Structure 1
Amino acid sequence: MKFPGLFVLLIFLGSIVYSQEGFPRTYVAFRTVDSIKIDGIANEKSWSKVPFTSDFIDIEGEEIPPFRTNVKMLWDEEYLYFYAEMEEPHVWAHLKQRDTVIFYNNDFEIFIDPDGDTFNYMEFEMNALNTVWDLLLTKPYREGGAVIDTWNISGIRTAVHITGSLNDSSDVDQGWSAEIAMPWKVLEENNLSGKTHQENYWKINFSRVNWQFEVSEGKYSRKKTSEGQYLPEYNWVWSPQYVVNMHEPERWGYVYFRDEPAGEVFTFQLPEAESKKRFLYKMYRSQKQYRSIHGQWASELTKLELSEAIILSGYEIKLETHSAGWNILIIDPSSPVRYGIRENGLIFTY
């Protein structure tokens, strides 16, 4: 393909530093040491040997939610396991049909992108009735991706445990927990990296949707304004998105699958490649913003928010424009692997 426009910028200003967003959160998932019974109660030895994630935070990364949410992860040869605990003084749900829009109830959600390219990722939701919704997205909504609603995680096992009572407005509950086993044979189908999960990391994030409610004749429902509009939901997440949008997979957290038994200790250090990818996604978002304002893509890097985005050390940054869009490339003299991003948000190596 011919590139009629080529803009090159050299930056020599120290190590990589982010000025606007914190780095995504990380978690190390170890192997199980015993059999996991999916009953919503994490009373197995394996669960006792691994830590919870840090507390969930509001999706924009600023406010602390009034109710705590934490998750644990484990894995074995057949399944990837999740256990979530959610404080909730009023546990309620009414949606009972699989693959309905579960986030119209309070829910717990899992987002998984095995190869970390933001394409072909999975979304899973469940409510306190143990009703689930699983779907596959070919691309984020920002790129007009298709939603494969009929896609299912075949063989998934789920359970809910309620500490209190369900749909009883006369008392105060402690909360509810969710336990999930997702088969690797399904999850790996969307892993196009050529690397298995073992000793590798995936992009994963969790969300908890929580609604303000009202009670009528003893029944819970989402609260409405005086004009009859539903009040907006709260979105509490593990790794902050910094926007009210879970469908920006590049901002999800990192889960590293350690091939050691639960109870071991390991600190996961992300490779430099992930900083490069985050820089490229910053440029991608800056290009999208520029086009929304000016009606066309920026043809020069200096027109983008490069100075505010990141400081790179000794890297050459290239912007190639062509008839179908553009590529932004990072050339690191110390690495044989080069990374780029296209106008559709897809990361590639060359």
Structure 2
Amino acid sequence: MSSVLQYLTGRKKNKKPGILWITFITVLSYGQPTQETLSHKSYIAYHTTENITIDGIPSEEAWQKISPTGLFTDIEGHKTPKYSTSVKILWDKECIYFLAEMEEPHVWGNLKQKDTIIFYNNDFEIFIDPDNDTHNYYEFEINALNTLWDLFITKPYREGTPVLNDWDAKGFQSAIQIQGTLNNPDDTDKGWTLEIAIPLAVFKTSYFHDNNPANKFWRVNFSRVNWDFQLINNKYSRKKDSKGNFAAEYNWVWSPTGVIDMHRPEDWGYVYFSLKEAGLQDNFTIPEDEKVKQLLYELYRKQKKYFNKNKRWATSIQELLQSSRNIYDKNIAPTLENHQTGWNISAVSPYTQHTYIIKEDGKIIQKEK
């Protein structure tokens, strides 16, 4: 879901109070996927020593040696988009590089001022949460005119955070090649290619912060907002219905979130930054501890719903888990702690014995054993 849309807005009991032992089993789900049954995508970004020229043309050998992501799907995860989209990712000691290739028979755009609401045009969007705590993440939106909207978001919009439009991604580079003619309704285009370089320094949170992603994963997602259009005086604009309202946009993404909302970093994909050079092969498996975090986010959402219904926070795990679904294969004992300014829910991972804590604002904290 686009930024401004958000801006405007089974069980075995343990005798110890406040603790509920949950035995999770793996379940296969058929039919339309839900938010809980959607699997998160993963991708290996390979290292390159080749100089990448940002010109919108993937002529470098490194681009040719790597595979793209799978084709994008509808954000809810159960529709096939009208037009195909895929992305490739490379990195080196200075930058992360993205190459998006988008099928589009009518390439158009009219927003030329930086930091305007770019998704009012067809656009391509990148979301990045380097430390996987769902806070302090980055968003980049670009239209076919190569107009950028870059944002730094301290918390997901569900927590009432403001839009930080004055933040700038220093050193950001992008270039576009159009397979057709921009803003020409008299022909049929093939699409557009977007090449991007984002300096790693953009993601530094302090002077001495070591944000080298080598052999680590970051939470990442990509979105493509696409609109039905109409022609007025032979110029493109978003289509309106008979009442003068804009028709709803299409939201096509790499890793579906299950709901029309991109600002759910806990549901983004995983990009692993391999030190192996493009053309070689590496392996990456999403860590088992991510299952524990997903449980905590399920409880976080239940706690929010509980408050909306009862006008108070739940004080025991039992109040939240009456309809819990079995989705894992290990015993986990989440605990709920209320305090004056909110609450914490914690769980010890059965895989690593690390403790994970989710706060009332959705931030995840990890404590190693």
TM-score by length of structure 1 reads 0.93
Counterpart among 91, 112, 115 of residue 75 in structure 1: 91
User: Which residues in structure 2 correspond to 1:193-212 (within 5 Å)?
Assistant: 196-212=212-228
Determine if contact 1:119/1:140 at 8 Å carries over to the other structure: yes
Change (3 A) 1:332 1:204: closer
Say which is worse superposed, 19-28 or 150-159, in terms of deviation. Answer: 19-28
**Structure 1 unaligned blocks of 5 or more:** none
Determine if contact 1:15/1:312 at 8 Å carries over to the other structure: yes
Shift of the alpha carbon at 1:290?
Answer: 1.6
Match of 1:147 in 2: 163
Say which is worse superposed, 315-324 or 224-233, in terms of deviation. Answer: 315-324
Query: Is residue 7 from structure 1 mapped to residue 18 from structure 2 by the alignment?
Result: yes
Query: Is residue 101 from structure 1 mapped to residue 114 from structure 2 by the alignment?
Result: no
Which deviations, in whole Å up to 9, do the C-alpha atoms of 1:238-283 show, x marking residues without a partner? Answer: 0001111111110000000000100111221111221111111111
Counterpart among 338, 341, 356 of residue 324 in structure 1: 341
Residue identity matched to 2:20: L
Determine if contact 1:16/1:312 at 8 Å carries over to the other structure: no
Match of 2:13 in 1: none
Shift of the alpha carbon at 1:16?
Answer: 9.0
SS of 1:51's partner is: coil
Which deviations, in whole Å up to 9, do the C-alpha atoms of 1:185-240 show, x marking residues without a partner? Answer: 11233899966311100000000000010012210000001111111110000000
Say which is worse superposed, 304-313 or 68-77, in terms of deviation. Answer: 304-313
Match of 2:365 in 1: 348
SS of 1:330's partner is: strand
Determine if contact 1:140/1:247 at 8 Å carries over to the other structure: yes
Residue identity matched to 2:306: Y
CA distance in 2, matches of 1:11, 1:246: 30
Determine if contact 1:282/1:309 at 8 Å carries over to the other structure: no
Shift of the alpha carbon at 1:302?
Answer: 2.5
Query: Whose strand fraction is larger, Structure 1's or Structure 2's?
Result: 1
Change (3 A) 1:135 1:286: same
SS of 2:205's partner is: helix
Shift of the alpha carbon at 1:124?
Answer: 0.2
CA distance in 2, matches of 1:301, 1:347: 18
Counterpart among 244, 266, 277 of residue 250 in structure 1: 266
Match of 1:138 in 2: 154
Which deviations, in whole Å up to 9, do the C-alpha atoms of 1:153-209 show, x marking residues without a partner? Answer: 101110000000000001100000100000011123389996631110000000000
Change (3 A) 1:160 1:13: closer
Determine if contact 2:25/2:327 at 8 Å carries over to the other structure: no
Query: Is residue 189 from structure 1 mapped to residue 200 from structure 2 by the alignment?
Result: no
CA distance in 2, matches of 1:30, 1:16: 33
Change (3 A) 1:309 1:111: farther
Match of 1:269 in 2: 285
CA distance in 2, matches of 1:276, 1:191: 32
CA distance in 1, matches of 2:327, 2:182: 48
Query: Is residue 39 from structure 1 mapped to residue 66 from structure 2 by the alignment?
Result: no
SS of 1:136's partner is: strand
Determine if contact 2:203/2:211 at 8 Å carries over to the other structure: no
Shift of the alpha carbon at 1:126?
Answer: 0.4
CA distance in 2, matches of 1:250, 1:105: 27
Determine if contact 1:134/1:149 at 8 Å carries over to the other structure: yes
CA distance in 2, matches of 1:10, 1:262: 45
Alignment length (residue pairs): 346
CA distance in 2, matches of 1:333, 1:17: 22
CA distance in 2, matches of 1:233, 1:111: 19
Query: Is residue 295 from structure 1 mapped to residue 306 from structure 2 by the alignment?
Result: no
Change (3 A) 1:308 1:11: closer
Match of 1:55 in 2: 71
CA distance in 2, matches of 1:156, 1:195: 17
Match of 2:324 in 1: 307
CA distance in 1, matches of 2:276, 2:93: 12
CA distance in 1, matches of 2:308, 2:22: 27
Determine if contact 1:6/1:321 at 8 Å carries over to the other structure: no
Change (3 A) 1:167 1:242: same
Determine if contact 1:114/1:190 at 8 Å carries over to the other structure: no
Residue identity matched to 2:281: V
Shift of the alpha carbon at 1:288?
Answer: 1.1
Change (3 A) 1:221 1:230: same
Change (3 A) 1:6 1:168: farther
Shift of the alpha carbon at 1:58?
Answer: 0.6
Say which is worse superposed, 115-124 or 189-198, in terms of deviation. Answer: 189-198
Match of 2:195 in 1: 179
Q: CA RMSD in A?
A: 2.2
Shift of the alpha carbon at 1:144?
Answer: 1.2
CA distance in 2, matches of 1:210, 1:295: 39
